[in-house]
Amino acid sequence: METLLPLKCWTRAQQHGFRIPQWTDPLAHEKFPGTNCTVLSGQKLSEEFRNQAKELAKSNSIKPNLTVLLVGEDPASRVYVSNKTKTFAQAGFGSHLIEVPAAEATTELLQKWVHKLNADPSVHGILVQLPLPKHVDAAAVLGAIVLEKDVDGFLPGNVGLLATGQFTGTLSCTPFGVMALLAAYNVSLAGKNAVVIGRSNIVGKPMGLMLLSEDCTVTYAHSRTQNLQGVCAQADILVAAAGQALLVKPEFVKPGAVLIDVGMHRDSAGKLCGDIDPDCFSKASFASPVPKGVGPMTIAMLLVNTCINAWGQGKAQ
Ligand code: GUN
């Protein structure tokens, strides 16, 4: 059977010992109830990468160490950061949280923190949780991180490597995790129409670039896109990162499409939901669930990125 691997964006992770499993047996795949649509299980794949990270840390004798800078009191950011630090602790890795109240935060103060962490050889990864308060210059704070400690792949130096088809830098965790998920389930990409709803620096833009690197024909859709439904209905692969609950309805979905949901919201009943209405699954061939889809993959790739940086820096804890 023809497989998607090696994935170009996986080159660096592979050089550092990480492997994407190949789940090519359709009979073994979990389906969404009452449909023929395969669940792209981020929960299962993230567990695989957590185990690989633990094994590799042992054989490299380096305990990866992440420091997170959390500014302000945004409740969603708190939940995300707590999930990240918990995952690192459970893997036996180092994770430290520096909290700065919004009222005390200035661009200069946060840059000072970053400089201190840059100079600390026990820190392999620096993560500045976004969004930062409006009065802070986020680009200037992120720009203070040295390239080799960027675990988010947000620095222009790393984005530039991706944009020019060089896979030697850190890649943004969410799209990187989506690519690994597609590869694990052997979803074919070359020549396919991929529509990415959303153009953020964190997800949308790098997602499109990674799909392009696998020869997809990529369309970016966003809040000013005309006839969103018609654009989405052309998609063989539809990535919804719009930040709008249940935006994607069945009439947006081409029969047999692959659906990737990057959204995380609560519906009117308080239940977790994504950007994609679950009624779409009966038309799709593969779909990522919310929760247990892209969310755990983002954290797993943060772990992978931190390991890669740690092996690269070769600084034992
Ligand atoms: N805010 C939302 N997602 C992310 C992420 O992946 N990294 C950082 N640093 N901030 C975020």
CA distance 295 to 181: 12
Q: With a 6 A CB cut-off, is 202 part of the ligand 1 pocket? A: yes
Q: Which atom of ligand 1 is nearest to the CA of 173?
A: 6
Q: With a 6 A CB cut-off, is 130 part of the ligand 1 pocket? A: yes
CA of 269 to the centre of ligand 1 (A): 27
Model-wide pTM > 0.85: yes
Active-site hit among 150, 152, 275, 277: 152
90 is annotated as an active-site residue: no
Q: Give per-residue pLDDT as tens, 141-198.
A: 999 999 999 999 999 999 999 999 999 999 999 999 999 999 999 999 999 999 999 9
Q: With a 6 A CB cut-off, is 129 part of the ligand 1 pocket? A: yes
277 is annotated as an active-site residue: no
Mutation pick for ligand 1 pocket among 71, 78, 80 (CB with most ligand atoms within 8 Å): 80
Q: With a 6 A CB cut-off, is 305 part of the ligand 1 pocket? A: no
Q: Could you read off the pLDDT tens digit of each residue along the chain, which spans 317 residues?
A: 445 668 999 999 999 999 999 998 888 999 999 999 999 999 999 999 999 999 999 999 999 999 999 999 999 999 999 999 999 999 999 999 999 999 999 999 999 999 999 999 999 999 999 999 999 999 999 999 999 999 999 999 999 999 999 999 999 999 999 999 999 999 999 999 999 999 999 999 999 999 999 999 999 999 999 999 999 999 999 999 999 999 999 999 999 999 999 999 998 899 999 999 999 999 999 999 999 999 999 999 999 999 999 998 764 34
